[in-house]
Structure 1
Amino acid sequence: MRELLDSEYDVIVIGAGPGGSMASYHSSINGAKTLLIDKSQEIGTPVRCAEAVPYLDEFGINPDPSFVRSKIDGGILVAPNGKKIIVKGGKTQGYVVERKIFDKHLAVRSANVGTKIAIKSRVVGLDYDGEKYTVIVNHLGQIYAIKAKIVIAADGVESSIAEMAGIKCKKKVTEICSCAEYEMTNVKLLDKNMMEFYFGDICPKGYVWIFPKGETANVGLGIIDSKKKAIDYLNEFLEHPLLEGRLDNATPIEFKCGGAPVGGPIEKTVADNFMVVGDAAGQISPISGGGIYLSLSCGSIAGKVAGEAIKSNNCSEDYLVEYENRWKEKYYKLLMDELKYKKVLQKFSEKELNALADAMDERLEEIDVAKIAFRAVKRAPSLLKYFKDII
């Protein structure tokens, strides 16, 4: 009987989300023999996010109608007192996609340039001999011991692969944002091309979102709170007075839940013959919980460096640290600034959130927390105690 998987690859990527598929794609086009492993029997499931993605041009991905459900022009921020602030342009533009199809599209794109894909494959062991890893995989009920010169862990917020390799990536409970979401029909949107965000006691230390998705909408929230479950807060929000009955006739057709690691990036993302990418690496916005853009970008960097390492016959940490240097140069300061801003904003009461909103213009071109803080303190000096370390 022909073996389904080879006994050795240059690169094994574990996790076929956006980060993993981008890593395997760039590893393959740079000449490395690459295997992409995913524990699910269908790539893209289960869906655990609100499905908003940025413009995809810089990644060479066409916004295919098969997965694009809505084009997004910006967002509407809604304070507890109901004041609406419109943000248009910049990072708020993009698409709401069908993640099941989008993730599969990225995996197919990777397979088309040579990546071998193994679905329903769970990594049950990881051994290192100083030169290569042996990845023990349960693939469709059969155990394989597969050697790899480089392993890339892209296995999400619950990552165990990096821990197996001796890299600390476990997240504290207080750093995990619990998310719950309904995809609903018959939602009356404020604007079919704008995302909606709600703040206050309805979602402690987080926010509620309503994202247009073609004929449906994603209605969900993320919280860091132990008093009630995320689903309980979400169900209460469906009847919130701020909605003015816009969800009265809405009906859920799908429920999604998950967690987002919003405590900032892990300290170390490389070791000899090993890299960590995406949610597993904490490459996700501490403020918004959005990680797809960062996963696409950092996955691309990891795949390119992996391909370069294989060509150079040097898979040491000293060589692979180029991945860490590149992604940190682009995003580390941004992520650490957002982490600082998040900790400030989480201290705000509803009254203070309203004061902040009242101090802001009703239209913004971008969300620049430092600029917003400066304007807010000028108009509401009582907010200085929160923003003194920002402005």
Structure 2
Amino acid sequence: MTRRNALDFDVAVVGAGPAGSVSAKEIAAAGYKVLLLEEHDVVGQPVHCSGLISPRTLEATGLDNDIVLNSIKGAVVYTPMGNTITVGGNRTHALVIDRALMDEGLARKAQEAGAVLALRSRLASMQRSDDGVRLHVQRGSEKAEQKIDVRLVIGADGSHSAVAKGMGTGQSEESIVAVGGEISMQSQHDDMVEVYVQPDLAPGWFGWTIPLGTDVSRIGIGSDEQGRNPRRLLEGLMESHEHLRDSSVLRLQGGVIPVAPLRQIAEPRAMLVGDAAGQVKPTSGGGIHTSILSAKICADVAIEALERGALGEEAAARYRTEWMRTVGLELYRGRLLRHMLAQLTPVETEQLLQLFTLKEVCEVMAAQGDIDFPVHLFSHLFRPAVVFRVLRALPLRLWPRLAWLLVQWYRKVSNHQPGLQ
């Protein structure tokens, strides 16, 4: 790749994960010159994701079922008091995918649409002006610097985004330190994930295992306490559960999960998408679905701005507005919900989780449970018959506490404009 003229490309997309590749594909398909920068030797490596998506998300990628490793029908939840609760099990709610194959497939689609993929290319710095953006890119093992001029830059380069740094927007104010990987374990439940809601093992977050349909399962754990060592947390999780104790760790990868979207996801001639923008579900840490939705919004705004030659504040404001309307409100409400649940004691959390054993709640979960829009479930749980049954099951001493938390959540959702940080 050599510099060809004053403006080498219309758009540079930094990061060839799902958000970056989808953005690049959509803009290239509209006829614009797009450069897709990826700092690693190959797309999709190293893997930082548990690879659990909905059937809806697979359809949105346009990829074949070849990337699917297993189907998931529900979850076995390990509670703070050491009990287990089975949720779902009636239909396929999620798919376990080969995340590397997904990333490769999406990057290939971007190339087929006309985008130029540059591997081993890391954005070192950038300067924006009224005329465009100059990127300083380090390429290859020698890290030779190349200057590339573009009209617009899109940052899809993860939670430690170089584009966000160049924009001066910083990082997500809330994050989870986590570790994930694979272990040799014959799962007890071939079509069920295991979720460990046990604050002594995973303070402020949870642990999980995901069966691959073989004698290998994915495993992970995280915490919102930044001083925690997630590898030590994983050791504690495996030691505390007999069926995990004798498993061999095959692969581990640490990372940071942003769980608070950035307020400023766009500036003149620069936009952020995916983890770089904190576009992750605050209740689960899942980000593939929200990244793909956000990438398509970002691309639509970028295409219109390129057509009009108006890449300034108007385009940035439109992206912020459209994203908030389509995706952001769900994440904002999810963040408030996470804050509310974090105030519960382990005993209160146990009592709340036991509600998922009630017939009325299980029926709502089976019909309305959606991993892409988890907050929507709560609106269905407020049906009179369900509320009456829940109140009968809850200890009386928990009523005032839960009512106060719900009122606080409702007030914030109803009355506040969601400035997300």
Q: Same fold (TM over 0.5)?
A: yes
Q: Does the CA contact (< 8 Å) of 2:128 and 2:269 recur in 1?
A: no
Report the Cα offset of residue 5 of structure 1: 5.5
| Distance (whole Å) between structure 2 residues aligned to residue 148 and residue 353 of structure 1 | 51
Amino acid at match of 2:408: D
Aligned length: 379
Secondary structure class of the residue paired with 1:388: helix
Secondary structure class of the residue paired with 1:389: helix
* Superposition CA RMSD, Å: 2.2
Asked if 1:278 corresponds to 2:270, the answer is no
Instruction: Compare 336-345 and 219-228 and name the one that shifted more.
Output: 219-228
Out of 236, 256, 260, the residue aligned to residue 259 of structure 1 is 256
Q: Does the CA contact (< 8 Å) of 2:63 and 2:105 recur in 1?
A: no
Amino acid at match of 2:347: K
| Distance (whole Å) between structure 1 residues aligned to residue 178 and residue 39 of structure 2 | 21
Asked if 1:84 corresponds to 2:82, the answer is no
Change (3 A) 1:289 1:376: farther
| Distance (whole Å) between structure 2 residues aligned to residue 222 and residue 285 of structure 1 | 15
Secondary structure class of the residue paired with 1:247: helix
Match of 1:19 in 2: 19
- Percent of pairs identical after alignment? 23
Name structure 1 gaps, 5 residues minimum.
none
Q: Does the CA contact (< 8 Å) of 2:208 and 2:221 recur in 1?
A: yes
Change (3 A) 1:32 1:338: same
Report the Cα offset of residue 57 of structure 1: 5.0
Match of 1:212 in 2: 211
Match of 1:155 in 2: 157
Match of 1:235 in 2: 235
Q: Does the CA contact (< 8 Å) of 1:356 and 1:376 recur in 2?
A: no
Deviations 1:238-280 (A, max 9, x none): 122xx4x322442221112101011x21112122111110111
| Distance (whole Å) between structure 2 residues aligned to residue 206 and residue 18 of structure 1 | 24
| Distance (whole Å) between structure 1 residues aligned to residue 295 and residue 381 of structure 2 | 32
Report the Cα offset of residue 64 of structure 1: 3.4
Change (3 A) 1:124 1:97: same
Instruction: Compare 361-370 and 198-207 and name the one that shifted more.
Output: 361-370
Match of 2:71 in 1: 71
| Distance (whole Å) between structure 1 residues aligned to residue 351 and residue 267 of structure 2 | 47
Q: Does the CA contact (< 8 Å) of 1:19 and 1:296 recur in 2?
A: yes
Out of 299, 314, 332, the residue aligned to residue 310 of structure 2 is 314
| Distance (whole Å) between structure 1 residues aligned to residue 378 and residue 400 of structure 2 | 14
| Distance (whole Å) between structure 2 residues aligned to residue 379 and residue 164 of structure 1 | 53
Match of 2:202 in 1: 203
Q: Does the CA contact (< 8 Å) of 2:63 and 2:102 recur in 1?
A: no
Deviations 1:91-112 (A, max 9, x none): x823212222211111111111
| Distance (whole Å) between structure 2 residues aligned to residue 72 and residue 309 of structure 1 | 41
Secondary structure class of the residue paired with 1:333: helix
| Distance (whole Å) between structure 2 residues aligned to residue 47 and residue 282 of structure 1 | 18
Q: Does the CA contact (< 8 Å) of 2:182 and 2:249 recur in 1?
A: yes
| Distance (whole Å) between structure 2 residues aligned to residue 360 and residue 247 of structure 1 | 25
Q: Does the CA contact (< 8 Å) of 1:370 and 1:390 recur in 2?
A: no
Using structure 1 for the length normalisation, give the TM-score: 0.90
Amino acid at match of 2:288: I
Amino acid at match of 2:205: G
Report the Cα offset of residue 229 of structure 1: 1.1
Q: Which has the higher contact order (CA 8 A, sep 6+)?
A: 1
Change (3 A) 1:6 1:46: farther
| Distance (whole Å) between structure 2 residues aligned to residue 70 and residue 369 of structure 1 | 28
Q: Does the CA contact (< 8 Å) of 1:96 and 1:213 recur in 2?
A: yes
Name structure 2 gaps, 5 residues minimum.
411-421
Deviations 1:197-234 (A, max 9, x none): 11022211101111112322111112112564111111
Out of 191, 194, 214, the residue aligned to residue 193 of structure 1 is 191
Q: Does the CA contact (< 8 Å) of 2:204 and 2:224 recur in 1?
A: yes
Normalized per residue, the structure richer in helix is 2
| Distance (whole Å) between structure 2 residues aligned to residue 357 and residue 122 of structure 1 | 45
